[in-house]
Each structure stands twice: as C-alpha cells, then as structure tokens.
Structure 1
Amino acid sequence: MQLADKDLISIQETRLLLKNAKKAQVELAQMSQCQIDTICKAIKDAAMANLERLAKMANEETGFGVVEDKVIKNYFASQVVYESIKEMKTVGIVSYDEVKKIFEVAVPMGVVAGLIPSTNPTSTVIYKALIAIKAGNAIVFSPHPTAKNCIIETVRVLKDAAVAAGMPEDCIGCATEITLEGTAELLKNKDTSLILATGGEPMVKAAYSSGNPAIGVGPGNGPAFIEKSADIPVAVKQIIDSKTFDNGVICASEQSIIVERESEAEVIKELIKQGCYILSADEKKRLETVMMTPKMTMNPKIVGKSAAYIAEMAGIRVPQETKILIGIENRVGHDVPFSREKLCPILAFYIEDDWLKACERSVEILTKEGMGHTMIIHSRDEEIIKEFALKKPVSRLLVNTPGALGGVGGTTNLIPAFTLGCGAVGGSITSDNISPLNLLNLRRVAYGVVELDEIRKNVERESKIDPTGTVGKAAALDQAVEDKLDRVTDIIFEKLRNQLNI
C-alpha cells in the first residue's frame, strides 16, 4: 500500500525549492550586468513566442476573462516590462557622486517568493520572473490552485529559455503540490528573503504576518469621478474600455462612477448609448444576491465573467451584447455590495450635488475598502484635479485614462507593473509600481570629507554667533548706560572742583 500525505509532500517540496534556489542565487549574483540582461531578454523572447497559447490556457483553466485581453496582458508583462527595465543598472556599482564622494552598489535580496493570483496568472509569472532576475534574485512561485497548470507551464517556458541563456537552473522554481501548508512554508521559511504577494486580501495579510520582509497589494476599489468639465463621451468610453478589459479582473479597474447632479442625465444617456445597462431597483436587489457570499466576500462565480452571464445568474434579462451592469447607489459599507470591489463588469453609480460632495464620497468609498490603491478622475479643470490629488488616500490618481490600463502603466507613464503598492495607508511597505529597484538593496560607500577637529571648530565658531541679534542688542544697551554714567560722573566731579577751587 502506498501512502502519501499531500501536505507533508508540499512542505518538503517547498523547502527543497528554496534550498536549491538559495544556492543557485549565489551563482547568479556573481554574473555581470550583461549576462543578467541576456537572461532577461531570453525570458521576454520566450514569453513573446507563447503569448496566445498561455493566454488560452489561463482562460480555459480559470474561466476568467477574455483570451484576446489576456494576450495583451502577456505582451505587456513581457515586452513592455522588459523595455522599461532593460537599461536599469542592477549589478555592481550603479551610481557614483564625485562631488559628495558616495557611490552605491546594488545588492540582491536573495530568494523571492512569488505568490500568483488566478485572475492574472500567466502575465504575473512573466512580470515577476523578469523583475526578480533583473535584480539578481532567484524566485520560487506559488500558484493559485485554480490556475495551477497554466502557471506551471508558464514557469517551465521561461525557465527553459533562461537556463539556455546561462541562468543557473534553480534560480526559477515552482511548487507543483499546492496546499496551504506548503504556501505557509514558503512564506515563513528562513531561506525566503522577500515575499512578493499579489492576490486576495487574506494572502497579503499572511505574507505580512510571516516574519519575512514582504511587498503586498491590498484590494482595489477605485471610484471614477466624471467631473462636469470632462469630455463625457470620452470619459464613458474609457471607463467601459477599462471595466470590460479581461472582464474587469485587474484590481486597478473602476468599481464605481461618481457624477455631479447636473451631469447625471447626460452621463446615464451616454452609458446607455455605449452599451451599458442601468438596473432597476428590483434588478439591483436581485444582482446583489449573487455578488457576495454569505460572509460578504466577493463571489468567485462572478469574477471575470461577462455582464450578460452575471445577469443571467441573477435572473435578469439583458441584451447579450451588454457591456456593464450599473446600479444606482447612495450607500457605502461592508454590507453594501455595489460599494465594494467587484472584479467583473459591474459598477455602482453615485450622484452628488457638486465636486466637493463627490470628493467626500470618494474618500468614504476608499476608506471602507481600497485605501492606498487607485482612483480615477475625468476632468479638464486642473484646480479640481489638484484638489483631488491633495486629499485622496490613494497611491495613484489617474487623470483622463482607463483605470485598469492606466494603473499598471499601460496608458500612462507609470512604471509598467502587475504589483501595485498601496503605501502605509493601505497596509503596504511602498506606494510604488513594483520594479527591479524594489527587489534589491543599495550598499552606500561613503568617503570621509571632514575631520572631527573641524566639526568642533565649526560648532565653537557658530555658537558665538547670535542669529537673532538679541545678545548683541543687550550688550550695546549695557555699554550705552555705562558710557552715560561715566559722563554724569565726570560732570559732577568737574562742578565740585570748581566750587572748591581745586
């Protein structure tokens, strides 16, 4: 009889992957910038050669999204990310300041634990492999169980190409026995140098509580404010482009629309014109029953599905070509499904009296969920844009662009990335779009430029100077009084001498 404990097998597999990765990373860290760049190019080329195949695998295995959009995401994660990092100095001396007599040396972190979500599985593997290797790190992937096969295949494709280009074989690894215990081992093992966590909120919390350094991403819940000065048809198109891209699974995509009351009719008319469906009060209630689980978490059955599919789940009849389901909302809270993150083509629609009230509503939405992540504003009024920039608890305020593609750096000049930091306000260590520069340390070499004796002399000299002038004024006054007394004394003695005929 053959016995096999899957939990123990996954823990042992993880330990072995980390042990081998740690050893291989020592070799990788000795390579030149040219050698590292050659490996990165090979990873990019391999991904580019398999864009469509891997996209189809991800769609078929998870049931999420749109194949054509997953192809674009794979392209973005390979070609676009590669172009953004290829000139980065990440090996050896990376900067030298002749004037300040300081130079900086890039130091890899070691072994990165790459947690991969089911929503963007193949593209996230490509992206994380590129930025980890570029920074001189090894990486061990932990697949989401519902996207296991496409993730393992993506890792195989990239690893084969990287090894052929000179990478030590165990610098890229992937768990194949997927259990919670195995993932916990990956997070807590002493050979894990850094956790790069992209996924659900529980996974990110586990990463931060593991005892190892971590970069995690909290939930997105970005509102999109269409301010009255905006080009409304363009704003509506961009929101639809974003929310329907891969059926809304990118966390930076819009989750609600906020408009001023005077723009309400025009925006709704434009939404309907461009293929959205405005739910009646009864239809909205029915949709709410399928949006969340009994524990008020997002229902995985709606993630990455089309608007028509989700409507059918709720028993709502809509045209098959419907792009987004929109519910009028005036509440925000944990128990208000439309105010929460929805990784599918569903949007809340809020109507406010003016832009100040819209500003308050945005903060309310983000405070309940989505702190530190992303918000979108469509406006031609630069002063209002600046006011939103100053007051919103987000790391990215996107202006006149689709949220999903703007947040990841596709339609903006942000760093191209599939891991978006949410800053301290969002429980993250950074607010950056994560790049290789977040996956290495800098050793600063500083030359002496002043002696202690000189510091002492400076302190002594500066301490004698009264910057306010108070001491100087008091001394001048004392001297004036003393001079006056001397003159009075002289006069008195002169009169005495005259009277006594001395």
Structure 2
Amino acid sequence: ENAEWLARMAVDETKFGIFEDKVKKNLFSAKNVYNYIKDMKTIGILNEDAGQKVIEVGAPMGVVMGIIPSTNPTSTTIYKALVSIKAGNAIVFAPHPNACRCINAAAQVVHEAAVKAGAPEGVIGCLSKVTMAATNELMHHDDIAVILATGGPGMVKAAYSAGKPAYGVGAGNAPVFIERSANIKKAVSDIITGKTFDNGVICASENSILVDEPIKDKVVAELKAQGAYMLSKEEVEKVSRAVMTPKGGMNAALVGKGPKVIANKAGINIPEGTRVLIAPLEGYGPGFPLSYEKLTTVLAFYVVKNWEEACRLAIELLNLMGAGHTFAIHSQDDDIIREFIRKPVSRILVNTPSSLGGIGLTTGLAPSLTLGCGTMAGSSTSDNVTPMHLINIKRLAYRIDDCIDAPSNTCAGNDINPDKIADIVKQVLLGLGKTNDN
C-alpha cells in the first residue's frame, strides 16, 4: 500500500518515470535490500581470528546525511534509511527540491516503522524546506559523520568538498555490447527492458548499444520486432537537439520520458507502441550529443568489427562520461567476456538488463541504489553501498610474536643499484598497462 501511494506521489511531483516501475523500486528497497541486510552483523564483535588473535568490532559512524535525487526519490530514501539504521546510525535527508514532498513522505513512513520497531524518536529526519543554503549547512554540521550522496555531479562534488567522509556516485552512460555469440532475441529483450524500466532514470541503465558487425542485420531486425524505432540521420539530429543541451547535459524536461513525448518534442513521427528510440551514430563526443548519458528512452547505436573494437569504443564512451560506473555484455563466449574485466568500470554485467543488474535486482550484487564508481570517477568506493560502508571497524589485537631486534644499520648506504630501480619501475608500469589496456 505504501509502495503504491509513494510511487504515485513521486511521479506526480517529479513528472519522471513510470508509476508501476516506481512501485517495483519501492518494493525492491523495502524487501530486497531488507532481505540482504537483515542477518548482516554490523555492531559488536564481527569476527574473531583465533590464529592471529585479532577481534574485529563494528561501531556506528554517527549521523548520516542522505542526499536524495529526483529520479529515484522514494526508493532511494527507503534504501538509505534501511542501510543507515542497520549500521546503527541516525540519518537526516536533504531532498532534491523537485521531489521534496515525496521524499519527506517516504522518510516519515520509514521513521514510523523504525520507531514502532523500537528505534528512538528522531532517528530519521528530513529537511522540509529545501534550499542550497540549508543543504550546505547540513553538509557542514558538526554532528554529521558521513555523507551518502546520490544526485547530480555538482551535488556529489559538493559532498566530497564538505570536509566530511562521503560516498558519492558518478554519472552513468553504460555501453552494452552484443557479441556475435549472443542469444540475439534475449539480448535485445534485456536491453529494451533495462532501458525502458522507469523510462531509463536508473544511472546503471543502458545508454549505447555496440553491435558485432556479423550480427548487425539480425540485431536491427530484432530491435524493430520488439518495439524499437531506428531513427534516420535527420531524426537523430532532431532528437539530439531536443534531448541534449549544447554542453552535453540532458534537457531536464525529457528526463524519464517515453518515446512519444520525446518524438513530439523533436517534431518527428514514430509508430504507435514504440518502446525506445535508437540513434545510429558514427562518432562520440561534442559533435555527437547522444553519446553522453541519457536518462530517458533513447539509445545510441554503434556497429563494431569485433570485440577488440568494442573494447576500444567502450573505453572512449566511458572516458567521455561514465568512467567507473557500469558496462554490460551479451555473449556466450566466456573468454571474450573475461577480456572486459579490464575495462574502467566497477560493474561488468553479463546477459542481464544493465539497469536491473547494476542495482542487484537480477544479479548477485548487493541490492543498492548508491552505486560507487571508484577512483576512476573520484569516488571513495567502487561497491554497491551497504551498511558495512557506514560502520567503523575497530580491531583488538593480542601479541603473538616476540619483538625482533631491528638491524643497527638499516640504511642501504651507497649500495643502491640504479639499474635495479629502473627495472622495478618498468615492471610496475607494465603491470599498470595490463590492468588498463584494451
């Protein structure tokens, strides 16, 4: 019941997404997240290593500040409240101005449930009047121990600049590669399902399709059969101007909108029942606006000669926008799948809708609506954030060895061999190259 009226409130207030899918996201946060964390040990003794005589003890961080976006407002509020409470923390929410009412309502629902279960009054709070000054003041408040930031790049950067520990997320823009061995019908179904879920507002949703050249015609035919509309070159230009801004950002009015709304805005005609718009592109970057992140029902489309070219193009797209976030592949060739482990992302999703796999709904990843992007995107974690990220771990360590006297002279003097140092540096650089190549 709460899942439905909160979803309706979110759609009515933000004008983003699909009511039925927001209900599913609310239930995902309330059920999937809960089932994943309910038996998780977070406070007190977590682990005892009898051999090493080390005891690990979990302790709450304190008060969490939860920054909530307008794209997934109620589900993210429920999720952040659960992981914070499970870690023994209180949480105060800073809503997006365009979703303030529904975020406050979700916070109130979870607060009432928490108090009923025995939590203290005030364990969950929320700003009722949202201004930049109020959000900034909350970020810098002495009682805030850690910031859990989900939102636009500016807000995430502000969180990291507040002088507090913070978990932020980077932009999406996930490429998805359909390799020649893939089950084409299933791959296309998964991609359209992932992109159209809540009209594409999940940051892990598919943004560009990379198709292996030998199966291009079959993929295009299957896309059309499953409700995709292939844009002409002229239509790509019109949709680009409607959906994207000159600087590569999205037109906020078309975030989370269906193809018909986008087509009307762009001044093009599409068939009834169209589920997603496909934009064939010949490049990426400023001259190709649709190569950037699109939190709506539009997908860029590229043809590549082989998996090696797919690797190179995926890296270019991710470096353009979305480094550290998510990449998806549809393939039956495990050797090729494993080649993509080296891509600059935190999640490589295989044979699954990217949006749903990234948040842990269709994969074994931790169910989460805060997806870290690692140092590749300036984030402090590459994980799907869980209660374990919101605790401090103390270690009680007993003496197990006698002291060993250090040598009286530990200085190497003039015995340093420059050739050996050069060789060590070369080996390290080669290792880094293997990690980041392809």
Please say whether Structure 1 and Structure 2 have the same fold, judged by a TM-score greater than 0.5: yes
* Counterpart residue number, 2:93: 141
Structure 2 residue aligned with 1:151, among 92, 103, 126?
A: 103
State the distance in 1 between where 2:246 and 2:290 align: 15
* Counterpart residue number, 2:365: 414
**Quick one: which amino acid aligns to residue 183 of structure 2?**
D
**Quick one: which amino acid aligns to residue 350 of structure 2?**
V
Q: Secondary structure at the match of 2:335?
A: helix
Q: Does 1:260 align with 2:209?
A: no
* Counterpart residue number, 1:175: 127
Alignment of 1:479-494 (within 5 A): none
Contact 1:121 1:150 in 2 (8 A): yes
Post-superposition Cα deviations, 1:123-155, rounded to whole Å, max 9, x if no partner, equal: 000000000000011100001111111111111
Contact 1:296 1:335 in 2 (8 A): no
Post-superposition Cα deviations, 1:179-233, rounded to whole Å, max 9, x if no partner, equal: 0111111112222110100011111111111111110000001000000000001
State the distance in 2 between where 1:381 and 1:308 align: 37
Structure 2 residue aligned with 1:325, among 277, 281, 304?
A: 277
Structure 1 residue aligned with 2:349, among 398, 407, 411?
A: 398
State the distance in 2 between where 1:165 and 1:266 align: 55
Identity of aligned residues (%): 53
Deviates more, 1:402-411 or 1:153-162: 153-162
**Quick one: which amino acid aligns to residue 416 of structure 1?**
P
Structure 2 residue aligned with 1:279, among 218, 228, 231?
A: 231
Alignment of 1:352-501 (within 5 A): 352-390=304-342, 392-452=343-403, 455-456=404-405
Label 1:382 to 1:218 Cα distance change in 2 as closer, same or farther (>3 A). Answer: same
Aligned-pair distance for 1:451? Answer: 2.1
Contact 2:64 2:91 in 1 (8 A): yes
Structure 2 residue aligned with 1:297, among 226, 249, 252?
A: 249
* Counterpart residue number, 2:421: none
State the distance in 2 between where 1:74 and 1:386 align: 33
Q: Secondary structure at the match of 1:193?
A: strand
Deviates more, 1:428-437 or 1:262-271: 262-271
* Counterpart residue number, 2:267: 315
* Counterpart residue number, 2:49: 97
* Structure 2: tracts of 5 or more residues without a match: 409-438
**Quick one: which amino acid aligns to residue 181 of structure 1?**
A
Q: Secondary structure at the match of 2:254?
A: coil
Aligned-pair distance for 1:335? Answer: 4.6
Q: Secondary structure at the match of 2:263?
A: helix
Contact 1:334 1:368 in 2 (8 A): no
Deviates more, 1:96-105 or 1:394-403: 96-105
Contact 1:113 1:142 in 2 (8 A): yes
State the distance in 2 between where 1:244 and 1:257 align: 14
State the distance in 2 between where 1:328 and 1:278 align: 8
TM-score (normalised: structure 2):
0.91
State the distance in 1 between where 2:358 and 2:7 align: 21
State the distance in 2 between where 1:351 and 1:89 align: 47
State the distance in 1 between where 2:49 and 2:168 align: 33
Contact 2:281 2:288 in 1 (8 A): no
Aligned-pair distance for 1:85? Answer: 0.3
* Counterpart residue number, 2:425: none
Q: As a proportion of its length, which structure holds more helix?
A: 1
State the distance in 2 between where 1:294 and 1:273 align: 33
Paired positions, count? 408
* Counterpart residue number, 1:10: none
State the distance in 2 between where 1:131 and 1:432 align: 14
**Quick one: which amino acid aligns to residue 389 of structure 1?**
I
Q: Secondary structure at the match of 1:325?
A: strand
Aligned-pair distance for 1:279? Answer: 0.4
* Counterpart residue number, 1:111: 63
Q: Does 1:128 align with 2:80?
A: yes
* Structure 1: tracts of 5 or more residues without a match: 1-48, 461-502
Alignment of 1:37-48 (within 5 A): none
Contact 1:155 1:174 in 2 (8 A): yes
**Quick one: which amino acid aligns to residue 92 of structure 2?**
V
Q: Does 1:211 align with 2:163?
A: yes
Aligned-pair distance for 1:456? Answer: 3.0
Aligned-pair distance for 1:294? Answer: 4.1
* Counterpart residue number, 2:302: 350
Q: Secondary structure at the match of 1:396?
A: strand
State the distance in 1 between where 2:215 and 2:39 align: 46
Aligned-pair distance for 1:354? Answer: 1.4
Structure 1 residue aligned with 2:173, among 207, 218, 221?
A: 221
Aligned-pair distance for 1:261? Answer: 1.7
State the distance in 2 between where 1:186 and 1:332 align: 39
* Counterpart residue number, 1:160: 112
State the distance in 2 between where 1:310 and 1:439 align: 40
Aligned-pair distance for 1:320? Answer: 2.8
* Counterpart residue number, 1:477: none
Q: Secondary structure at the match of 1:456?
A: coil
Contact 1:223 1:376 in 2 (8 A): yes
Q: After TM superposition, what 4+ stretches of structure 1 lie above 2 angstroms from structure 2? A: 293-296
Contact 1:251 1:343 in 2 (8 A): yes
Q: Secondary structure at the match of 1:212?
A: coil
**Quick one: which amino acid aligns to residue 338 of structure 2?**
K
| Root mean square deviation, CA, Å | 1.2
